[in-house]
Amino acid sequence: MKKVFIETYGCQMNEYDTELVKSILKSNEYEFTQNEADADVILMNTCAIREGAHTKMYARLGDLKRFRQENKKLVVGLLGCMAQNLRGDLERSENIVDIYAGPDSYKRLPEMIESVRAGSKKEYDFSLSEFEDYSDVYPERVPGVKGWIAVMRGCDNFCTFCVVPYTRGRERSRTLESVVGEAEKLAADGFKQVTLLGQNVNSYKSNGTDFADLMVGVAGVDGIERVRFTSPHPKDFPDKFLQVMAENPKICSHIHLPLQAGNDRVLEIMSRSYTKHDFLRLVDKIRNTVPGVKLSTDVIVGFPTETDEEFEDTLDVLRQVEFDSAFMFKYSQRKDTIAYRKYADDVCDDKKTERIVKVNELQKVHSLNRNQAEIRAELAVLIEGPSKRTDEQWMGRTDGNKVVVLDKGDFQKGDMVCVEITGATANTLFGKHVGRFADRQRANIKSNQREKNGEIPGA
Ligand code: SAH
Ligand code: SF4
Ligand code: F3S
């Protein structure tokens, strides 16, 4: 059997795709190794979202040269968004890559690897499909507590800064039956939490069913205790969906709601399809419908032509919403995108740094406030594994997606425990368990429901 080493960069969708690739290769009699030096095939599943992702990949390809020197028959493949984004450029450039495969071409990988082994110089497939959803492939997952399911692929939003619609093609949803079927298998494999994935996950649509129906379907699977989703777009939040979130105790009360910018002119030229006012109204609606909901966001600073004054609107939204956490990025110009064709990258790097520092400082205060407000709350925590710092403690997450560190007690990975929060930093909550639940599911329901009803302080 040939050995494959595979490395993943980028978002959770790429992690999921790697599991698909492993499944496809495994059924073609490949096995896997954690050690590049051992491998007959090295695959890199790449990301293209910002320039940093590309830079990292070029450095890694340089690094891989030594394995080719040691093993002349080594096959190197570049998969995913960067391969798709740089198509022609990569084919023409000098590097050690033998195979290029975009996100819709993974079923052809065994055949492509065989061709290279049989002497073909280069193999590439950049075709994007309107139909490929890999519903017929059951991902090869590392056993654990949390599993991902991609419920839709691609994106039709074309935000002007974003490369994803070009690297992943048109939006397509899987059927509800196929997603629920996969969740049932996940539960049978011992997973406790499912995260439904899509670039634009809440625009899921299939045979008359929508995202709310899908969430309810997955939450109805026995053995699955928590359902999460990422990333939604602010344009698709019907009341029905928020109602389902509020009422279904297995659907976690956390929404990652990417803001990107706070100024109306900037939002307009980003093609985000909402204004500052719309966004703030949506946050109110979410908080009024789903009490105790936790919110996180993404922010881009230094989009072309953004002025200091316009950037103040981003800070203003952050202040008004006080997100539980936020990811911030300097605008990075991406090949193919609308912003790339229309605008020069005219906000200098110093300015972007200055803005990102401001966003960071503000968010740190908010994250700390939000976390400190949880102190003394009793929350259901799903234990994911050892804490980063010490094997003596567990790390788990609350329904609202906050990290909690607690003493190990006699709990196991995958246990749902009731924890009283005793301390907080901007990134982490600390707690002590106040009891094991005989019936974890009921406990989860009770604690979530109390949090949702606003009975728990800070919720
Ligand atoms: N589909 C997701 C976004 C995936 S990309 C969504 O719509 O929420 C994750 C984040 O990367 C985006 O929310 C955005 O904040 C950031 N991002 C995307 N393109 C970028 C670019 N060209 N420069 C900087 N940040 C970018
Ligand atoms: Fe990119 Fe916008 Fe699609 Fe998200 S919704 S993947 S930011 S184009
Ligand atoms: Fe990166 Fe592609 Fe995900 S660009 S963020 S790996 S969709």
- Could you report the per-residue pLDDT of 248-278, keeping only the tens digit for each? 999 999 999 999 999 999 999 999 999 999 9
Helix (H, G, I), strand (E, B) or coil at 155: coil
- In eight-state DSSP terms, residue 283 is H
The highest-level CATH class for domain 378-452 is mainly beta
The position carrying tokens 């935000």 is: 159
pLDDT bracket for residue 94 (50, 70, 90): confident
Mean pLDDT of the chain, nearest integer:
93
For CATH 3.30.750.210, list the domain ranges present in the chain: 141-252
The encoded tokens of residue 196 equal: 């439904």
Q: How confident is the model over 224-236, as a mean pLDDT?
A: 95
Pocket test for ligand 2, best of 50, 160, 168, 200 (most atoms within 8 A of CB): 200
pLDDT, tens digit, 9 for 90 and up, residues 37-82: 999 999 999 999 999 999 999 899 999 999 999 999 999 999 999 9
CA of 314 to the centre of ligand 1 (A): 16
pTM of the model: 0.93
DSSP 62-108: HHHHHHHHH-TT-EEEEEEHHHHHHHHHHHHS-SS--EEE-TT-GGG
Q: How confident is the model over 13-21, as a mean pLDDT?
A: 98
CA of 396 to the centre of ligand 2 (A): 29
pLDDT at 438: 41
For CATH 3.40.50.12160, list the domain ranges present in the chain: 2-125
Candidate CATH numbers 3.40.190.10, 3.30.750.200, 3.50.50.60, 1.10.3720.10; the one for domain 259-372:
3.30.750.200
Residue 288 buriedness (CB in 10 A; 0-12 / 13-18 / 19+): exposed
Nearest CA to ligand 3 atom 3: 11
CA of 262 to the centre of ligand 2 (A): 17
Task: Say how many Å lie between the first and final Cα of the chain, rounded.
Answer: 53
CA of 12 to the centre of ligand 3 (A): 8
For CATH 3.30.750.200, list the domain ranges present in the chain: 259-372
Instruction: Report how far residue 109's alpha carbon sits from residue 219's, in angstroms, rounded to the nearest whole number.
Output: 34
pLDDT at 108 over 90: yes
pLDDT at 89: 81
Are 183 and 149 within 8 A, CB to CB?
yes
pLDDT at 101 over 80: yes
Percent of the chain whose pLDDT exceeds 90: 86
pLDDT, tens digit, 9 for 90 and up, residues 345-377: 999 999 999 999 999 999 999 999 999 999 999
pLDDT at 459: 32
pLDDT, tens digit, 9 for 90 and up, residues 397-455: 999 999 999 999 888 999 999 999 999 999 999 999 886 554 444 444 444 555 555 55
Pocket of ligand 3 (CB under 6 A): 10-11, 13-14, 47-49, 80-81, 163-164, 167-168
Taking each helix axis as running N to C, give the angle between helix 276-289 and helix 239-247, from 0 to 180 degrees, rounded to the nearest 10: 30
pLDDT, tens digit, 9 for 90 and up, residues 274-324: 999 999 999 999 999 998 999 999 999 999 999 999 999 999 999 999 999
Of 259, 249, 301, 266, the closest CA to residue 283 belongs to 259
pLDDT bracket for residue 245 (50, 70, 90): very high
CA of 95 to the centre of ligand 1 (A): 28
pLDDT at 452: 53
Pocket test for ligand 2, best of 155, 230, 337 (most atoms within 8 A of CB): 155
Beta-carbon contacts of 22 under 8 Å, excluding residues fewer than 6 positions away, are: 4, 6, 32, 139, 140
Percent of the chain whose pLDDT exceeds 70: 94
pLDDT at 90: 75
Torsion of CA 443, 448, 450, 451, to 10 degrees: 140
CA of 38 to the centre of ligand 3 (A): 28
The encoded tokens of residue 397 equal: 């997450």
Are 42 and 2 within 8 A, CB to CB?
no
pLDDT, tens digit, 9 for 90 and up, residues 112-171: 999 999 998 899 999 999 999 999 999 999 999 999 999 999 999 999 999 999 999 999
Distance of CA 46 to the CA centre of its chain: 14
Number of the ligand closest to the Cα of 45: 3
pLDDT bracket for residue 32 (50, 70, 90): very high
For CATH 2.40.50.140, list the domain ranges present in the chain: 378-452
Fold of 2-125: Rossmann fold (3.40.50)
The encoded tokens of residue 221 equal: 């699977």
pLDDT at 391: 84
Q: Is 141-252 a domain of CATH 3.50.20.10?
A: no
